Amino acid sequence: MAVTQPYSSCLAHGMLFRAGVTEYLSSLSQGWRSLYASTQREQPYEHNCPGVQDHLLVLHMDGPVPVERELSQGRGTSLIPEGGTHIIPGGTVFGVRLRAPLTSLHLYLSDAVLRAVAAECEIGDPSRLEVIPRFGDVDPALTHLLLAVRDVLADGHPANNCYVDHLAAAIAARLIRRHSSSPSAAAQAKTVRARDIAPAIDFMRANLHRSITLADIAAASSCGPVQLTRRFRQVLGKPPHQYLIQLRVEAARLLLTGSRLPIAEIALECGFASQEHLTHLFRRATGITPAAFRRQSC
């Protein structure tokens, strides 16, 4: 299978070579030919990107983070959760505006790999296959594959090249099966997207300081509690109350590092019943107490 280095696509987009990109790790020196991957910490930015031959996937490794994206089909804004993935098909011209810091994985999948896998799947003419753009959708199987690439990237061993080719083929197969114009993708298209729970997440973030119920969150989303819980499990793999705790712990972390408020006040500000309640849930989420976290951050 003849494959050219997808690094040229990364160069054309230039997103990873802007000021404000830190903690940079890439596959450039590892000799990968079926895909190019990098992990980085990105600061807020706005960027317009030309169309390139290969297919771009961006995995959010933290969040939620507000993102605006513009394609020929229109413009959209959404609060993208941790695990949300953007899929930009090869040849797509697009604009993006990141409105908060983000830790991300960028992956360029060779179009030649995608066409070769499509031919093996015998789904019709591979040259006519189209990848469907996605905006922060959560696909657990795709996320698993992308995180596997991240782990290999961090390992940096030359013997991993063959494994990377297998991962690239698996990612291509997943795109064909769930995110393309193939009949199998149309039959299995996800009915619940990240945008379907965005109103609920917005409501949670705006009301972290007070006690809110599942019924309150569901009402803000114009659906019932059972339907809302089903949506959260489908998109994030967890129920709303667990995600609310995650948001509160994240808010507490920001206040612990960015303010001198007493921990008891931070607990109440973030919606915890008491300092003891915050300490219990914070330690369960991070492995350390709020006081120890603050000391480490100083």
Q: What is the pLDDT of residues 46-56, one digit of tens each?
A: 999 999 999 99
Per-residue pLDDT at 289 exceeds 90: yes
Give the per-residue pLDDT at 41: 93
The strand order across the sheet containing 74-80 reads 45-49, 94-98, 65-71, 74-80
Shared domain for 169 and 26, answered yes or no, is yes
Each residue of 80-95: pLDDT tens digit? 888 999 999 999 999 9
- How many structural domains compose the chain? 2
CA–CA separation, 14 and 278 (whole Å)? 42
User: Within 13 Å of residue 90, how many CA atoms lie on the same side as its CB?
Assistant: 20
In a domain, 15, yes or no: yes
pLDDT of residue 192: 57
Confidence bin at 189 (pLDDT 50/70/90): very low
The two structure tokens encoding residue 137:
């959708």
What confidence score (pLDDT) does residue 244 get?
93
In this prediction, what percent of the chain has a pLDDT beyond 90? 52
**What CATH number did the domain enclosing 55 receive?**
2.60.120.10
Residue 269 is part of which domain span? 194-297
pLDDT given at position 185:
58
Residue 22 shares a structural domain with residue 138:
yes
Do both 235 and 180 map to the same domain?
A: no
Predicted local confidence at residue 4, as pLDDT: 55
Residue 256, C-beta contacts closer than 8 angstroms, at least 6 positions apart: 263, 266, 290, 293, 294, 297
Is residue 209 domain-shared with residue 125, that is, in the same domain? no
Question: What are φ and ψ of residue 136, in 5° steps?
Answer: 75, 20
% of the chain with per-residue pLDDT over 70: 94
Give dist(CA 3, CA 110) in Å, integer: 7
Do 208 and 273 lie in a common domain? yes
Q: Between helices 240-258 and 275-286, what is the axis angle to 10°?
A: 100
* Tens digits of residue pLDDT in 208-254: 989 898 889 999 988 888 888 888 887 887 889 989 999 999 899 98
Average pLDDT value over all residues in the chain: 88
SS3 state of residue 242: helix
In a domain, 1, yes or no: no
**134 with 214, same domain?**
no
Per the CB < 8 A criterion, the answer to whether 237 and 273 are in contact is: no
pLDDT attached to residue 251:
92
Pair 100, 222 in one domain: no
